[in-house]
Amino acid sequence: MPMLIRFEGGQARAAADPYQALDDADPLPVAGDVVVSLARLLTEGAALAARSGRLGVRLGPAEDVLALKPFAGRLDLIALELPKFRDGRAYSQARLARERLGFTGELRAVGEALVEQALILVRCGFDAVTPADGSAPEAWAAATRRYRHVYQRAADARDPASAERLRAPKVGQGA
């Protein structure tokens, strides 16, 4: 089972994954935390929402994250799949989940997530990942800290260069 890494306050820690992944045909367990497909969420949403355990949904890259709108307040986890590391749809899905739906629960990258993508994952709003390359939490934390500055607003709290420049209007001129 792949390791789960959670990001919090600039740190990355290995964590236990409490969720049970349910196939669409699996019966709903009475208790416990579950992850279901979007299709199952849309058809059995009421039953799922009425359970006591935590509720997660897993989306493929072609699925519309805005379809989660009616459930955004009830969901504890959205897992977004990177089918290949070159497939960047999950980054847009993640930003839409955070910025358009206002989702504040766990946003997890699953599939071909590599440590080289740590910074862009975090900047797009992911706060958990199951790495495909077996890399350790320390490597992920280091990779998110490689850049002192960024050039654009995204789903994280970082100020872009333009805002830093406003705060320090007399930034020295380089070469």
Partner 1 sequence: MYRQDDIDAAFLADRTAEFRGQVMRRLAGELTEEQFKPLRLINGLYLQLHAYMLRIAIPYGTLNPTQLRTLARIARDYDRGYGHFTTRTNLQLHWIRLADAPDILDELAQVGLHAIQTSGNVVRNITADPYAGASADEIDDSRVWAEAIRQWSTLHPEFSYLPRKFKIAVTASPADRAATRIYDIGLRLYRDAEGELAFEVGVGGGLGRTPHLGATIRQRLPVRHLMSYLQAILRVYNLHGRRDNLHKARIKILVAQLGIEAFAREVDAEWEASDKAADLPLDELARIRAGFLPQGLTPLPAVSRRLEAAKADSRALARFARRNLAPHKVPGHAIVHISLKAIGATPGDCSAEQMETVASLAERYSQSEVRVAYDQNLILPHVRLDDVPEVFAGLEAAGLATPNIGLVSDIIACPGLDYCALANARAIPIAQEIARRFSDPVEAEAVGELKIKISGCINACGHHHVGHIGILGVDKKGEEFYQLTLGGSGGAPGEGEAAIGQILGPALPFARVAPAVGDLVAAYLAARQDGESFIDTVRRAGLAPFKAAVYADAHPL
**What residues line the site for partner 1 (CB under 8 A)?**
85-89, 91-93, 95, 99-100, 114, 116-117, 119-121, 123-124, 133, 146-154, 161-166, 171-175
Q: Nearest distance from residue 29's CB to partner 1, in Å?
A: 33
Length of the chain: 175
Nearer to partner 1, 52 or 152 (CB): 152
Nearer to partner 1, 54 or 89 (CB): 89
Q: Is 145 helix (H, G, I), strand (E, B) or coil?
A: coil
Tokens read off for 48: 């799922």
Q: Nearest distance from residue 15's CB to partner 1, in Å?
A: 23
Q: Nearest distance from residue 66's CB to partner 1, in Å?
A: 9
Q: Nearest distance from residue 57's CB to partner 1, in Å?
A: 18
**CA gap 40, 126 in Å, rounded:** 23
Spatial strand order in the sheet of 106-111: 11-15, 4-8, 128-129, 106-111, 77-82, 55-59, 33-37, 19-21
**CA gap 20, 29 in Å, rounded:** 10
Nearer to partner 1, 57 or 96 (CB): 96
